[in-house]
């Protein structure tokens, strides 16, 4: 398994708090002399502004925040089945801001039997988003951050601090926490799920995806592709990839074992600065940042994609990229951010130079659609105005680019 532990929040993650919030809103309404619908409407507006709606609306109406109605909490319909299934594959933990007696409440829900470790704020004297509560959980589990997922409904309490530690993260958009509007890359989780069954499906996909590295989504070997002369491209020579910010020891050992020690990062400096490559200063690897500015922005339309690929191919940095590849004594791994556009263009040119069949080049390009499907989903959340048709690979994008390149490529490469 790529990860050993799954850590869950409790409220609005495993436990449905809808009725408890309704009871709280009703009490606020009674105290303020307004309707419950009014309170809910105002609270929802606050949640959509990334504020704590129940507390904000109580303050707005100048009333005390009512007690929490834990007796109104219920398990989500799929909680038991999902925990039972996941506990057969992973160690299950809880990291939660809860009152004393969390284990007793989980036992009363009959789910404690699926849980190996409970770390609750009341007992520990420290609460999320303080990183210390995550450190406590990781230490007791005996694992490194990269060996675990943090799963929760709160971007501020669950996702941001866990991500800073190097844990993988899953935002489950249940309850009012699902109203959060992501404002920055720091808030962007590894994956997003809208229910516990979808969470299980994403984990299954994550464990079974074919990326060569366990810490990336889209790393693939270009070996084994049939050339028109009947020969096949060599394995362990050219590896296409998305960004590699937190390579695991297993990833590092794999690459060194295959003598793939030259890394070409085509991301622009601002992206490298905000999300540094894990190979930049790593012993045993030679790292090159050869930024391709062309292709670092989303094309204006679907029709503009093949032309944008031609601009990537015409980048003056291409000469340095291909020279570095040719002069490398061992294997080369090259990447942009998602391993899609700039990496896709470089790959298509390489495979055309190797005289690989066109349909195989197109098939390789289209694999990115499958490997990056969760990334595309997050792009829709992070950039709600973005036309996803532009960024999701289509066969016509790479085919039209190759047709253009065959017509104009010799001109480009002679410049």
One domain, residues 55 and 117: no
CB 290 within 8 A of CB 265: yes
Q: pLDDT, tens digit, for every residue of 290-301? A: 999 987 788 889
One domain, residues 240 and 224: yes
Give the count of domains, the chain: 3
One domain, residues 277 and 388: yes
One domain, residues 154 and 199: yes
In a domain, 214, yes or no: no
Cα distance between residue 334 and residue 324, in whole Å: 11
pLDDT of residue 380: 75
CB 275 within 8 A of CB 185: yes
pLDDT of residue 156: 95
Helix, strand, or coil here: 240? strand
Predicted confidence (pLDDT) at residue 410 exceeds the cutoff of 70: no
One domain, residues 204 and 351: no
Identify which of 316, 397, 327, 350 has the alpha carbon closest to the alpha carbon of residue 239.
Answer: 350
One domain, residues 371 and 393: yes
* Sign of the dihedral through C-alpha 23, 11, 383, 185: positive
Identify which of 168, 91, 363 has the alpha carbon closest to the alpha carbon of residue 159.
Answer: 168
The overall average pLDDT reported for the chain is 92
pLDDT of residue 411: 52
* Sign of the dihedral through C-alpha 135, 190, 10, 181: positive
Q: pLDDT, tens digit, for every residue of 208-247? A: 767 899 889 899 999 999 898 888 999 999 999 999 988 8
**For range 39-66, the mean pLDDT:** 93
55 lies in which domain range?
A: 18-71
Q: Which helix (H) or strand (E) holds 353?
A: helix 342-353
Range scoring the smallest mean pLDDT among 40-54, 194-208, 250-264:
194-208
pLDDT of residue 240: 98
One domain, residues 164 and 262: no
Length of the chain counted residue by residue: 415
Cα distance between residue 318 and residue 300, in whole Å: 23
pLDDT of residue 248: 86
Q: pLDDT, tens digit, for every residue of 256-290? A: 999 999 999 999 999 999 889 999 999 999 999 99
Q: pLDDT, tens digit, for every residue of 117-154? A: 999 999 999 999 999 999 999 999 999 999 999 999 99
Q: What is the CATH number of the domain that holds 127?
A: 3.40.50.1000
Predicted confidence (pLDDT) at residue 6 exceeds the cutoff of 90: yes
CB 172 within 8 A of CB 196: yes
pLDDT of residue 206: 79
Q: What is the CATH number of the domain that holds 373?
A: 3.90.190.10
* Domain stops at, among 31, 50, 71: 71
One domain, residues 96 and 129: yes
Predicted confidence (pLDDT) at residue 303 exceeds the cutoff of 80: yes
In a domain, 234, yes or no: yes
Q: Is the bond leading into 262 cis (omega within 30 degrees of zero)? A: no
In a domain, 346, yes or no: yes
In a domain, 112, yes or no: yes
pLDDT of residue 414: 53
Percent of the chain's residues with pLDDT above 70:
98
One domain, residues 80 and 193: yes
Per-state percent for the chain, helix, strand, coil, to nearest 5: 50, 15, 40
Predicted confidence (pLDDT) at residue 332 exceeds the cutoff of 60: yes
In a domain, 215, yes or no: no
One domain, residues 162 and 64: no
**For range 61-77, the mean pLDDT:** 94
pLDDT of residue 181: 86
Angle formed by the axes of helices 53-60 and 36-48, to 10°?
120
Q: pLDDT, tens digit, for every residue of 339-378? A: 999 999 999 999 999 999 999 999 999 999 988 888 887 7
Per-residue pLDDT band at 205 (split at 50, 70, 90): confident
Q: pLDDT, tens digit, for every residue of 145-194? A: 999 999 999 999 999 999 999 999 999 999 999 888 888 878 888 888 88
């Amino acid at each position: 398994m790529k990860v050993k532990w799954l850590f869950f929040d409790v409220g609005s993650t495993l436990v449905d708090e809808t009725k408890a919030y309704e009871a709280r809103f009703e009490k606020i309404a009674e105290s303020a002399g307004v309707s419950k619908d009014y309170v809910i409407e105002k609270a929802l507006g606050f949640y959509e502004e990334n504020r704590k709606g129940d507390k904000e609306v109580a303050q707005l109406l100048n009333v005390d925040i009512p007690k929490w109605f834990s007796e109104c909490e219920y398990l989500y319909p799929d909680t038991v089945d999902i925990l039972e299934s996941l506990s057969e594959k992973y160690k299950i933990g809880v990291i939660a801001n809860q009152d004393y007696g969390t284990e007793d409440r989980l036992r009363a829900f009959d789910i404690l039997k699926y849980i190996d470790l409970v770390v609750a704020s009341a007992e520990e004297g420290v609460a999320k988003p303080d990183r210390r509560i995550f450190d406590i959980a990781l230490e007791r589990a005996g694992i490194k951050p990269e060996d675990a997922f943090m799963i929760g409904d709160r971007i501020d309490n669950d996702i941001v601090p866990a991500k800073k530690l190097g844990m993988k993260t899953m935002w489950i958009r249940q309850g009012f926490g699902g109203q959060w509007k992501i404002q920055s890359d720091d808030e962007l989780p590894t994956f997003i799920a809208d229910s516990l069954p979808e969470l299980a499906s994403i984990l299954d996909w994550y464990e079974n995806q074919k990326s060569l590295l366990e810490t990336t989504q889209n790393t693939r070997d270009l070996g084994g592709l049939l050339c028109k002369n009947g020969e096949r491209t060599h394995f362990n020579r050219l590896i296409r990839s998305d960004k590699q910010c937190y390579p695991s020891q297993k990833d590092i050992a794999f690459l060194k074992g295959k003598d793939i020690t030259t890394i070409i990062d085509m991301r622009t400096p601002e992206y490298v600065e905000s999300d540094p490559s894990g190979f930049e200063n790593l012993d045993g690897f030679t790292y090159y940042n050869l930024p391709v500015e062309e292709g670092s922005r989303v094309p204006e339309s679907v029709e503009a994609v093949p032309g944008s690929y031609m601009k990537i191919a015409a980048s003056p940095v291409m000469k340095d990229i291909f020279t570095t590849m040719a002069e490398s004594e061992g294997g080369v791994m090259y990447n942009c951010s998602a391993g899609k556009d700039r990496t896709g263009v470089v790959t298509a040119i390489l495979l055309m130079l190797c005289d690989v069949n066109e349909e195989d080049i197109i098939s390789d390009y289209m694999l990115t659609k499958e490997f990056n499907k969760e990334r595309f989903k997050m792009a829709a959340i992070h950039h709600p105005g973005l036309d996803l048709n532009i960024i999701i690979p289509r066969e016509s994008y790479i085919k039209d680019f190759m047709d253009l390149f065959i017509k104009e490529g010799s001109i480009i490469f002679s410049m």
